[in-house]
Amino acid sequence: MSKFIITPTNDSSFLLKEAKQFLGLNNLETVKQYEVFESDEQSDLSKILPLLPGSFLTENLDELELATSFRYRQVLGQYDEVEEMTNRILNNLREQEVTLHHSRIIDLPGLNEKEVATFKAYFINETENELVPFTALDFDMGISSNADLEQVDGFTHFDEAELVSFIQDYSMDLSDIKVVQDYFKTEGTEPTIFQLKVIDTYWSDHCRHTTFMTELTDIKVMDGQYRDAIEQTILEYNEVRSIVYADRVEPKKVTLMDLATINARDAKRLGLLENLDESDEVNACCVRIEVDVEGETEDYLLYFKNETHNHPTEIEPFGGAATCIGGGIRDPLSGRSYVHQAMRITAAKNPTIAYDETLPGKLPQRVISQKAAQGYSDYGNQIGQTAGYVKEYYHDGFEAKRMELGALVAAAPVDNVVRIKPEASDVVILLGGRTGRDGLGAAVGSSMVQTEKSLELQGAEVQKGNPAIERKIIRLFRQPEATRLIKKCNDFGAGGVAVAIGELADGLTIELDKVPTKYPGMNPCEIAISESQERMAVVIAAKDIDQFIALAEAEDIEASVVATITDSPYMVMNYQGEEVLRLKRTFLDENGGAKTAQAQIESQAIGDFFKENRDVLKQLSDVNNASQAALAQNFDFTIGKGTVLAPLGGVYQLTPQEGMVAKIPVLGKDTHTASVMSVSFKPELADLSPYHGAYYAVLNSIAKAVALGVPYQEIRLTFQEFFERMVSPESWGKPTGALLGAFKVMKQLGLAAIGGKDSMSGTFEELTVPPSLISFAVAPTDARLVVSRELKAKNSKLWLLSPERNAQDEIETEALTSLFDQIQAMLVNKEIRSISTFDDKTLEVNLVEMALGNGIGFEIKPEFVNTKVALGYIIEVASDLPMPANAKLIGETNETNEVKLDETYSLAELATAYNAPLAEVFTQVELVKRAEKTEALEIPELSSDAKVLIPVITGVNGEYDLYEAFKRYTKNVEFFVIKEELGYAASIAELKTRLSDYDVLAFPDGSILSNRLHYGQAIELLIADLKDELESFIQTKHILAIGASFAGFVRSGLIEFGEVKPGTQIEFKANPYEKFISTVVDVNVIKDSAYATQGTYSTALAGYSLIIDLDEKKFEQQILSKYTHFFEGELGIDAMTDPTGHILGINANFERFNRDGFNNLKVNEAPFIVNLLKLVD
């Protein structure tokens, strides 16, 4: 008989807001929420109630089953974070040997039956969740049959009609299945369903890029203004082909893939890609760079990658977007690099449209945008991924399918990366997460067109990931002792074991029963093609098995030998001693039957695109011009310590930047070398002419990188293509035209795309996405050359530099190179105060964005109002700086808070218009001013011999920032990994013996065992296990605890009482609207102490639970600092000590600031660490 533990949680202010504003359910009083934990085991659940504060035990749910309530759970088999982490706490930290199953109850008092039904229809996405009764539930995952191992009788003798009928449930077409049939005839056997599913996965458009590899037998350009220009570009393309492929015996087929990559081949031939790093590992672009490491030059690899999860995010926004960033990280991570910054580029239909305008078979655009933002940010924030740039585009065509795109940059010392061809007897080790039924068929499903039935039929394709496990792999792969043992590596994405391991060598034998699974009952086919997340496959020499597994287990990572490299030409899979699959590698590499198509390129004149007649207030009210600050708040841009530009600049943090810039990660040291990534996308322009849309997308991504200090010659490109399903010459003409436009720019500038990703399924019934080529420009730069976008000074001159378009609406090569060289020289000479490209906005809208960051007014000449250009720069310079003849003086900054255009506007009214359109959709949370900042605190210099230990447990993500903060002053900083999963008790015993060796214990922030139910609980339990040792430690030594760790120290009683003791009156509360907040604020030290004298420092507010609630008078001697800006009605406490003064607890993340980071914000470092070390010394 089941028993239930009920945990009431806070009423949801977010769902209440959405119900009233979006659904019109104005009678709703509140949204009550309950976590339900169920167990049918005979164990005494009353013993675990103390571990779930506020909970109660019951044998039924009758009291909660109301006319206004409903119960739901996640689709079985999906990762449920609350369930997973609760069971980890109970079983690993407290050895309870109990399994709790999780569901939730929502109660909607005030609503009638019809209104409850409306809310449920809005809230329940059956791809993600299912409604369940208020009775005991069945959580059995079942046992799968082995029907997939049976042969398809007579397959090799099927006629064409039988083959056509047979492939209805596969992504293969007739030409593909005929190749399969011929193969099995040659092999002399009939295939199994298992073999066919593996082949179908390998040959899906997602894996083999079928559309991009299709031969274009004819490219026809239709009559129009641009016919001559496009045909000239085709001629140039063919000329390059004739040179690059001159030595080929067989003619190279014309394909979209060739169009996208031919510039790289040509650039290599011309010696323009000398820094390109090439290998058999192709999971991310990679170039060699030189990095200045504290005055010494070191060789590094710079990686970058773009990744989309359009289909999964469309049907299950939270999980799809979460795995977008998770999978995106794993691509460069598999190259043994450290991913140090991420960019999120998305596209949707206008999310402000009404609920009742939602298409049948679709989720509301508002819901997709909200939940996708929550999913991407939740995963990225938990794993500790720096969010460098966030932008969402709006276009009606994306109602067909959302675009969810992540782009990342990473780096690693060259010496840490070994690439050796696997040899027979080498082994494959599987690292990280376990395998379940989530993600089955995702590669195939994402390649197929979405229909109204997709939400119902494709739920198993979307995975939810566990960022805590991936974080552990990140730590392992930052250790050269581990990475130098790896010969080759592949991350688990589409195709699971079959592809990730299968691609590592031409011949190998995979033991499927050695693959760790999440639950029993999976059959060999499911194990082979499941796309469960957070897994990595590495090839290791047999002699290094023990050493590598020991290193993995030291990071609390499960590692299993699952395959052996062989000399055989076959990929073989065994299960329980029997062979269940055998496929020849050369056959899999054939990628199916040959495909051909014809392309017909059409275009319309683009001149009207650059015309604008709306006043500035109406322009700012357009969702594509409006502020996305409310969206950006969700993404943690402060973690990582290397960020050069905050995504929103200026003292008011309102000015979007040209791209993202971060220092190359050199752990424990400093550098001025930074990576730059910029992006451009022109959906409205591409609607008129895909050729010009791509031409100017590529050109403007380059222009943005140049604005960030990069010489254009050093830029490397990567593209994301997202187009409708290819069904006609007209549809084929769109990507063909776009790639020709991209080719043209690269040819003009001698540049190349060295990577990319295509998604060619942007069709929903009659709807299609706009022709989408998104261009990313990447290069290293000197961080000291980077100039941000917000206006810097009063009485500056404002200039426009913009080359003219020619008759074909292109820009002449000489004009491009001259402009880019001119900007680069001015940046090197420190002549530019601020700089902006146009990005499809008028001159005045760009200037308003530049002005709002620092609150600087400006005026421009009337003739420049409504100016919109295809390529150009707005620059702010000193009033007396001589400018070249091609520059146009457009205006100047002034000493008022006004903007003078055709009429005069206050900055306040412009800010209101700018913020309003999307503030409600993404729930903008405003901080209110609580106090004036005072004088900045000084940071004394110090060289210390103090020994610092940083404990690391599952979910910690701030350990590297804390490590680097201490390493600035002492070389004696170490980590201690607490093996929560693989040996918690032994870890605690070892930690107890080592504490006396250290002077400082520094507990980092993080999503520690997720913090989902009770913020800081895991650290509280850890402290209880170290009670005597910690109480002894603080008698003479010091502890620093940040964020969630600080919350754990509060919960333990140590902050209030100075000892581990129940009954603390200090509490942490969730932010308004349960929203993650990422921003930078100033903090005033209000009381002199050994840690800081009175003054102001800056800190990063980054989290869900940032509010400390206490009796201020009672704790006034322990409160050290308070925020100058914070949530309305809250105290805003940042730093506190325990009564002894030996424990320093910090709520926010002061440790994330570098000496020269965030150069577009006015930040001041906090002196806590240096003064803490002075206390030790």
Say what the pLDDT of residue 533 is. Answer: 82
Say what the pLDDT of residue 341 is. Answer: 98
| 462-485 confidence digits (pLDDT tens) | 778 899 999 999 999 999 999 999
Decide which of 132, 147, 177 is a domain's last residue: 132
Q: What is the CATH number for 1071? A: 3.40.50.880
3-state percent breakdown (helix, strand, coil) of the chain, nearest 5:
35, 25, 40
Q: What percent of the chain has pLDDT over 70?
A: 98
Decide which of 132, 160, 177 is a domain's last residue: 132
> Mean pLDDT across the stretch 1130-1142?
97
Does 427 have pLDDT greater than 50?
yes
Number of domains the chain contains: 2
Does 322 have pLDDT greater than 50?
yes
Mean pLDDT taken over the chain:
95
Q: List the structure tokens of 55.
A: 């909970």
Residue 360, domain member (yes or no): no
Say what the pLDDT of residue 453 is. Answer: 43
Distance (Å, rounded) from C-alpha 158 to C-alpha 196?
Answer: 15
Tally of residues, the chain: 1177
Say what the pLDDT of residue 1012 is. Answer: 76
> Mean pLDDT across the stretch 405-421?
97
| 205-261 confidence digits (pLDDT tens) | 766 778 999 999 999 999 999 999 999 999 999 999 999 999 998 889 999 999 999
Evaluate whether 443 touches 531 at the Cβ level (below 8 Å).
Answer: yes
Say what the pLDDT of residue 443 is. Answer: 53
Decide which of 77, 98, 132 is a domain's last residue: 132
Contacts of the segment 1029-1032: beta carbons below 8 A, 24+ positions apart: 1029/992, 1029/995, 1030/995, 1030/1001, 1030/1054, 1030/1060, 1031/1059, 1031/1060
Say what the pLDDT of residue 456 is. Answer: 39
Residue 1027, domain member (yes or no): yes
| 324-374 confidence digits (pLDDT tens) | 999 999 999 999 999 999 999 999 999 999 999 999 999 999 999 999 999
Say what the pLDDT of residue 444 is. Answer: 56
Residue 679, domain member (yes or no): no
Q: What percent of the chain has pLDDT over 90?
A: 92
Distance (Å, rounded) from C-alpha 597 to C-alpha 255?
Answer: 9
| 1145-1167 confidence digits (pLDDT tens) | 999 999 999 877 899 998 999 99
| 1009-1033 confidence digits (pLDDT tens) | 988 779 999 999 999 999 999 999 9
How many CB atoms lie under 10 A from the CB of residue 785?
18
Say what the pLDDT of residue 22 is. Answer: 98
Residue 867, domain member (yes or no): no
Count H helices and E strands in the chain, helices first: 36, 49
Domain span at 60:
3-132
Say what the pLDDT of residue 85 is. Answer: 95
Say what the pLDDT of residue 460 is. Answer: 52
Residue 967, domain member (yes or no): yes
Say what the pLDDT of residue 457 is. Answer: 36
Distance (Å, rounded) from C-alpha 254 to C-alpha 597?
Answer: 10
Helix ranges (H only) for 464-522 are: 467-476, 480-483, 496-500
- For 1153, counting Cβ atoms within 10 Å of its Cβ (0-12 exposed, 13-18 middle, 19+ buried), the class is buried
Evaluate whether 349 touches 396 at the Cβ level (below 8 Å).
Answer: yes
When pLDDT is cut at 50, 70 and 90, the band that residue 47 belongs to is confident
Say what the pLDDT of residue 455 is. Answer: 38
Helix ranges (H only) for 307-364 are: 310-315, 317-333
pTM comes to: 0.96
Residue whose tokens read 């412009």: 910
Say what the pLDDT of residue 698 is. Answer: 98
| 1037-1079 confidence digits (pLDDT tens) | 999 999 999 999 999 999 999 999 999 999 999 999 999 999 9
Does 678 have pLDDT greater than 60?
yes
| 919-931 confidence digits (pLDDT tens) | 999 999 999 999 9
Say what the pLDDT of residue 459 is. Answer: 39
Residue 974, domain member (yes or no): yes
> Mean pLDDT across the stretch 59-76?
96
Distance (Å, rounded) from C-alpha 288 to C-alpha 278?
Answer: 10
Residue 1012: in which H helix or E strand, if any?
none
Residue 311, domain member (yes or no): no
| 789-846 confidence digits (pLDDT tens) | 999 999 999 999 999 999 999 999 999 999 999 999 999 999 999 999 998 999 999 9
* Cα dist from 128 to 31, 76, 226, 374, 470, whole Å: 20, 9, 47, 14, 22
Least trusted range by pLDDT, from 274-283, 482-491, 908-917:
274-283
| 708-763 confidence digits (pLDDT tens) | 999 999 999 999 999 999 999 999 999 999 999 999 999 999 999 999 999 999 99
Does 390 have pLDDT greater than 50?
yes
When pLDDT is cut at 50, 70 and 90, the band that residue 912 belongs to is very high
Enumerate residues 6+ apart whose C-beta is below 8 A from 41: 98, 99
Residue 567, domain member (yes or no): no
What is the phi/psi pair of residue 801, to 5°? -120, 115
